[in-house]
Copies of this chain bind each other. A is one copy, B any other.
Amino acid sequence: MTRIRSKLLSAFSLAASLAYSTNVMAADCTPSKWGAEDEIGSANLITAERVIAASKLVKQGKAHPLGIVIDPKMPAYPPRSMHLEVVQPGQQHGKSLEGAVAWPMIYNDDMAQLWFGIGPQLDGLGHMGEAGYFYNCNHTDDISDFSGLKKLGIHTVPPLVGRGVLIDMAKHFGVTSLEKGQGFSSQDIKAAADKQGVRIQEGDVVLFHTGWTDAKMNAEPDLWVSGEPGLTNEAGAFLASLNVMAVGSDTWGLGAVPPIPGDKFGYDHISLMKENGIFVLETMNTGGLAKEGVKEFLFVLGQPRVKGAVQMLVNPIALY
C-alpha cells in the first residue's frame, strides 16, 4: 500500500529539503571549495591545458581497456549480483520477421538485472558519506531518492579526461600481489613513485597496481572478496591533499581490508569523495600496463550517463 504514501513522501521530501537547507554548515560537513552548488568535485580540475598536455602522452599509439571483463558470474557478496538474458522478441520458435520487414531479419536483444557496483566501477560522489552527509554538505534526506539520486548522480560526472599515472605497488614490494589487509602509506607511495620515476600532479588520475585481482579474483574468489590490500587512511588523506582528480586500484574497494590497526574501514572514500570530491575507481585492469611498465598515459573515461545512478560499470581507456 505504498501508492498514496509516495505522494505524501514527495511532499515530505520537499519539506525535508527546506528543513535541511539550514544544516549545510553543520559541523559534520565541509562545503566544497568549488561552491555550494557544485556536484562535480575534482572534475573541476579538468582544463584545456591539461587535456592537451595529456593528449601528448599518446606515443606508442596503444589503447588499453582499464575495465576488466564483467562476467555475470564474477564473485560478489550478497546482495550484489548480475543476471543477463539474451532474448529474441517476436521471433519465438522460429516465427519469422520476414512478413514484417520483407527480408529474413533475425536479431538478438539483451536485458539484465544487475547492480551498478559490480566489477570495474566509478563511484559517484553520492555513494559514500558520513553522519548523514555526502560531498558538499548534501544530506541524504535531500538527495537519496529511491528512484534515483536527486543530486550527485553519476550522470552529472563530465568526461573524466586527463593525465593518468600508474604506480606499481606490487613491483615496489617485490611481489606478484600484495596481501589481504596489507596497507600502504604515503611514505610507501612516495618511495614507489620516486623509484619508478612517477610524479603525481594536480588533476591526475592515480592508479595503483597491487596484483590482487589478477592473482586472486578467479583463483580464489572467496578470498578476493573477503579483503584486499590498499590505501591506509593516512594515504587516502595524502592523495586528497595532492588535489588529484581520481584515485583507483585493481581492488574492489581501494582501501586495505581489513584496515591496518587504528584505521577505519573504508575511510579513504571519505577523505577522497566526501571531503574533497575526488572520484574513486575500483577493480581497474592495471596488469597489462604494469607488465609493460607504462607510467603515464592519457586517461579517458566516458561512463554511461544513467540519470540518478550512484555508481556505474565502466571501462576507462588508457592511451599511450
Contact = CB atoms under 8 A, between A and B. Distances in A.
Interface of A: 1-9, 11-13, 15-16, 19, 46-52, 55-56, 58-72, 75-95, 97, 99-117, 119-120, 123, 126-132, 140-141, 144-149, 155, 158-159, 161, 225-228, 252-254, 257-258, 264-267, 269, 282, 298, 300-317, 319
A108 B144 contact: yes
Contacts of A225: 3-4
Contacts of A228: 4
A65 B305 contact: yes
A140 B109 CA distance: 12
A65 B110 contact: no
Contacts of A16: 95, 99
Nearest to A89: B146
Contacts of A6: 77-79, 89-90
B79 A85 contact: yes
Given A77-B6, A146-B86, A314-B302, A63 B319 contact: no
Nearest to A88: B92
A119 B119 CA distance: 22
Given A63-B51, A99-B15, A311 B88 contact: no
